[in-house]
Chains A and B, each alone.
Chain A
C-alpha cells in the first residue's frame, strides 16, 4: 500500500496543491501565533540601570488572578499598565536580610530637558526622559565621566547622551521641566553607563531629597535593589528576600528578569501579545480545518475512479482510508514544516506594525524558539488527519460500481436530510437575529451574537447549497439567457449541476460575508467613536503635549478670567472585577479622570442615568458598554484595581453613552492621577467664558508657551480610547485578510478542479460546432453567474449581523460601509473566481478536440 500511496502522490501532485497551500497557510498563521505567544511569555530586555543590583524588588505588573496567589498566575492575566509602587519601608525591612550588603531604592519622576530651540528634547529611542535619585546609581554600573554628584535643589547630573544632545557640559545651566514650569539647573556632572554605549532610556539624576520632593508622594519608591555580600549567591539572596517579604504584589527579580522592573513597557507587553495571539490562533485553526476539509474532499472526489477501481480489485475500505490518510499526512508534514520559516518571516514583517500600534516596544525583537514550530506542524498534521477522516468516511459506503460508470447525473432532488438540517439552521439564524434585536445593548454579548450569526448563516448556506443555487439560477437565468447561445448554454449547465454550482458559490459566500462583517463592524465602531468624540467635546480649546501635560498648567488656566471651566483629562487602564453572575474573568477597561465641576462645560458624556457631578474617590461613572459588560448599574459597587494595582470598590453614580469616544470608566481627576506612573494629564480641556473668545486664545497661548511642547488646538483628533480602538481594528483587519486569503484558496481550487474535469464536455461542444471563442464566452457567463450568486448572497448574509452591531453602537440600523473596502472584497473574489475558471478553460481549449475526447481521465 505504501508504494501505491507514494506513487499516487507523486504522479498526481497537482491535485494536492490546494491542500498543500491551505496547510501551508494554516501552519504559517499558527507559527505566527506561537511565536507571538512565546514572545509574550519570554520577552525580556537585560537590565542596564539595574545591572549591578543582584536582586531587584519591584511591583508585580499583573492583576492577581481570581484564584490563588500571584506566583502561579496564568499568563492570561490582565496587565497593570501603571507602575506598581513599592512601599519604602520594604527597603528598611530588607536591610536585615541575610546576604545583603547594600539596599538601595530608585524613584523616578518625569523630567524633560528643554533644548536650545525651546522644545523638549526627545530621549533615547524616542521615549520620555526620567529623573532619578542619585543613590540609585549604585544599582547600575554608573561612572562619573566628569564633575560630581548633584547636591541641593538646583543641581542635576545628566547621562552622556543627554548632555551631548543638549550641548551642555559640567558647569553649564540647563532648563528642565518636571511636573510644572521649566526651571534652571546647574549641570554638576555627567555619567556614563559602563559597558552600555547607548542606553535604552535617557536618565538624569537629582539629589535624593530633591527627587523625593519632586515625586510628591510619601513612602513609596519605584524599586528596591539589593547588592549581595561579596562571594554571595544572588539566587540565594533572592530566596531569602522572597521569604522575608511574603507579599504577592511584589516581584523579586534576578538576572534578565530585572529588566522588567527597569523597563515598564517590557513588563506590560507580554500579556498583551499573549491575548492577541490566543484570539488569532482560535479563529485560524477553525478556518484551516474548514478549508483543508474542503480541498481534500475535492481532491478525493477527483480520485474517485481510482479508488473505486481499487475497491473493485479488492482493496478493503480500511486500506483505502489508510491510503487517503497517509496522503493527507504527507502533504500536511510538507506544508507544516514549510510554514515554520514562512511564519518567522511574517512575524518579522509585521513586527513594525505591532510596534506602531503599541502592542510591543519598537526596539525589542520577537522570541523565536522551537516550540511554536512543533505546535504548528502538529496542528497541521492533526488538521489533515481529521479532514482526511471526514472526507474518507464516505468511502466506506461507496459501491465500487458507482464511480466506474460515466459521470452520473446529479440527483435533482435535494436530500431530505439536507433540507431538515438546513431548515433548522435557518430557523436558528432567524432566532439569533431576533434575539440580537431585542437584547438590551450589552456590546460584548451583541458582538458575540453577531459573530455566531455569521457562522450559522454561512453554514446554513453551505448545507442548503444546491437549493440556494437552484433558486439563484431562477433569478439569474433570465439574465444569462439574454445571450442566445453562450449565455443559454451557461444557464443550462448551471441548471443541471446545482451541486457543482453550490460548490463554487459556497466559499464565495463564506469569503464575502465574513470579510464584510468583520471589516464593516470595525468601520462602524470607529465611526461611532469618532462621532462620539466630536459631539462630546464641548470645550472650546484643547491643550495637549506629546509627553503629557503637567497638572500645573490646568491650575494656571483655571485662574484666567477669560476661562469659564478647565479640566485636565488623565488616561489610564483599570481592571474591573468580573460580572457578579457566573464565572467571568476580570476585564481591562479604559479609564479617564476629569474634574466633575468642569465636566458640563467641557465634556458632554451624555449620561443616561444619574449625574456625573458627584464624582469622587468613592463614586465613578460607567459607560453603557462597561455597565452591561460588568452587569452593574447606578447604585451598584464595582470592585476594581486601578492601573497600579490599588484596589478600590467605588459606587456607580452615573451611566453615560459616549464611552466609545472617551473612556469606559470615568473617575475623579485627582484620584486617577495619583495612581498613574507619570502623573501627568493627557490633555487639558478649556471652555472660555462667553464673549471672551477672541482674547482667550491669545491668553491661553501665552500660558501654554511657558510649558515647552504644549500644543493649543480647537478639537481633539483622538483620544487614548481611539488609539486603542485603532489598534484593535488593525488586529481585526488582519483576521479578515486571513479569512479572505484562505477562502481565496478554496475558491481557486474549486473552480480549477471543476473546470479541468470538463475537458470532454468542451471537446464535445467543439466537435458539435461551437467555436473555442464561444466556449470561452460561455464560461464567462458561467463565472458571472457564480460571482453574482456568491457575492450577492454573501452580502445579504452579512447584513443581519452588521445591522445588529450598528444598532447597538449607534442606534442606526445602517452600518458604516466604506465603499472602497466593499469594492475591494467584491473585486478580489470576482477576480479570483474569474481567473480560476477562465485560465484552465483557455488551457483546455488549446488541445484539439479529438485528442481531448480520447484523453484518459
Chain B
C-alpha cells in the first residue's frame, strides 16, 4: 500500500498548478439576449488540493466547472490543465486528454445503465483501449466499498452506491484532476458525508486534485479552500473553510446580489 502514497508521477519542471483559468469569459446567446455566465474569471488550483466552488444559483459555478474541464469552450480567455492549453486543442485531442487526465462525477446520471459496476468503473480505460492496472483497481474498489457489487447493474444500486461507482470511475485513470458537479446534491446527509470522505481520501491519501461545485456549506467544509462566484465573477476566497464561515459568506453574497 505504501507506494500509493507517492506523489503522482510529475516532472519537476511542470506547471505549479493543476488547473489554471486566465481571464475566462463565457457568453451564451446572441445580440440583446446575451448572458455572461462567466466574466473575466481567473483562478489557480494547485496540485493535491480540494477546492470547493460555491455561489448562489445562476452564479456560473457549473459553467466554470465545464469550462475548466474542457467540456465547454470559453468565449475569451485561457484554460490550462497543467501546462497544456485546452483552448488550443481540437475536439478529438481534447477528448483524449480529458479521458486520460480528468475524472468526472455528476450529481445524477453518472452511470451507463447497460453496464455493470465493474464495466462502468473501467469504462474510461476501455475507451482508450488500455488494460486496467490490477492493483490500482483493487485499491479503489476496496476504498469505495464496492467489492461485493461489481456485477450489479446501476438500477440495482442505491443513490449513494451509484456515486461511489462514479468516484471509482473517476479515479481509475489516476487523473490529474477530478471534477465533481454537486456530487452529494441528491444524497441524504449521512451518505453525503461518506462520499465527501471518499473525495477527501482521494486528495489526502492518493494525492489527487479535486474541484467540486457545491451549494452545501457542510460539503465545503471538507475542502482545503472555498472559492465564491457571484454574477459570473470571483467574489471571495476562503482558505480552510468551516461550515459556518461558508454559510455566512454565502448569505452575504445573496444579500449583495
Contact = CB atoms under 8 A, between A and B. Distances in A.
B105 to A, nearest CB: 10
Nearest to A406: B108
B151 interface: no
Interface in B81-118: 91-92, 95-96, 98-100, 104, 106, 109-115
Contacts of B123: 4, 310, 313
Contacts of B48: none
B155 A314 contact: no
B149 interface: no
A3 B126 CA distance: 10
A812 interface: no
A127 to B, nearest CB: 62
B232 interface: no
B31 to A, nearest CB: 11
B128 A314 contact: yes
A399 interface: yes
A396 B66 CA distance: 18
Interface in A386-423: 396, 399-401, 404
Nearest to B92: A316
A216 interface: no
B119 A3 contact: yes
A317 B99 contact: no
A57 B245 CA distance: 107
B60 interface: no
Contact of A400 (B71, B112, B113, B169): B71
B71 A399 contact: yes
Given A7-B114, A857-B109, A315 B154 contact: no
Given A7-B115, A306-B112, A404-B109, A313 B169 contact: yes
Contacts of A317: 91-92, 95
A1 interface: yes
B171 to A, nearest CB: 13
B241 interface: no
Nearest to A403: B109
Interface string A292-335: 00000000000001100111111111110000000000000000
A8 interface: yes
Contacts of A8: 112, 114
A12 interface: yes
B104 A312 contact: yes
A728 B96 CA distance: 59
B249 to A, nearest CB: 26
A314 B99 contact: yes
A396 B98 contact: no
Contact of A404 (B92, B106, B119, B169): B106
B55 interface: no
A843 B109 CA distance: 24
A317 B94 CA distance: 11
- Determine which residue in A3, A396, A856 has the highest number of CB atoms from chain B within 10 A of its CB, and name it: A856
Given A309-B109, A313-B127, A315-B127, A12 B71 contact: no
Contact of B72 (A12, A318, A401, A857): A401
Contacts of B124: 313-314
A317 B66 CA distance: 18
Contact of A4 (B92, B99, B115, B128): B115
B112 A310 contact: yes
B114 A12 contact: yes
A312 B110 CA distance: 10
A857 B112 CA distance: 11
Contacts of A1: 126-127
B127 A314 contact: yes
A492 B49 CA distance: 49
B115 A315 contact: no
B95 A315 contact: yes
A10 B127 CA distance: 20
Interface string B240-256: 00000000000000000
Interface string A534-551: 000000000000000000
A438 interface: no
Contacts of A400: 71
Nearest to B173: A314
Contacts of B72: 399, 401
B114 A401 contact: no
A11 interface: yes
Contacts of B154: 856
B60 to A, nearest CB: 13
Interface in A1-56: 1, 3-4, 7-8, 10-12
Interface in A646-705: none
Main secondary structure of the interface of B (DSSP, over half): helix
Nearest to A854: B159
A663 B99 CA distance: 74
Interface in B47-79: 66, 71-72
Contacts of B155: 856
A11 to B, nearest CB: 4
- Determine which residue in A315, A396, A857 has the highest number of CB atoms from chain B within 10 A of its CB, and name it: A315
A310 B110 CA distance: 10
Interface in B126-154: 126-128, 154
Nearest to B103: A313
Nearest to A855: B155
A659 B155 CA distance: 71
Contacts of B99: 313-315
A313 B113 CA distance: 15
Contact of A316 (B96, B104, B126): B96
B155 to A, nearest CB: 6
A4 B114 CA distance: 8
A855 to B, nearest CB: 10
Contacts of A404: 106, 109
A8 B119 CA distance: 13
A310 B95 CA distance: 10
Contacts of A319: 127
Interface in A311-366: 311-319
A7 to B, nearest CB: 4
Contact of A313 (B66, B104, B119): B104
A318 B126 contact: no
Contacts of B127: 1, 310, 313-316, 319
A396 B124 CA distance: 19
Nearest to A11: B114
Contacts of A7: 114-115, 119
A299 to B, nearest CB: 14
A513 B91 CA distance: 43
A11 B113 contact: yes
A305 B109 CA distance: 8
B112 A316 contact: no
Contacts of B91: 316-317, 396
Contacts of A11: 113-114
Contacts of A10: 114
A12 B114 CA distance: 8
B76 to A, nearest CB: 17
Contacts of A396: 91
Contacts of A399: 71-72
A312 B71 contact: yes
A244 B186 CA distance: 93
B200 to A, nearest CB: 23
B98 A314 contact: yes
Contacts of B169: 313
Contacts of A310: 112, 123, 127
Given A4-B112, A313-B124, A314-B100, 4 more contacts: A3-B126, A309-B111, A316-B91, A399-B72
30 contacts: A4-B114, A4-B115, A4-B123, A7-B114, A7-B119, A8-B112, A10-B114, A305-B109, A310-B112, A310-B123, A310-B127, A312-B104, A313-B123, A314-B95, A314-B98, A314-B124, A315-B127, A316-B91, A316-B92, A316-B95, A316-B127, A317-B91, A317-B92, A318-B92, A399-B72, A400-B71, A401-B71, A404-B109, A856-B109, A856-B155
In order of increasing CB-CB distance, the 8 nearest A-B pairs are A314-B99, A11-B114, A7-B114, A316-B95, A401-B66, A400-B71, A316-B92, A401-B71
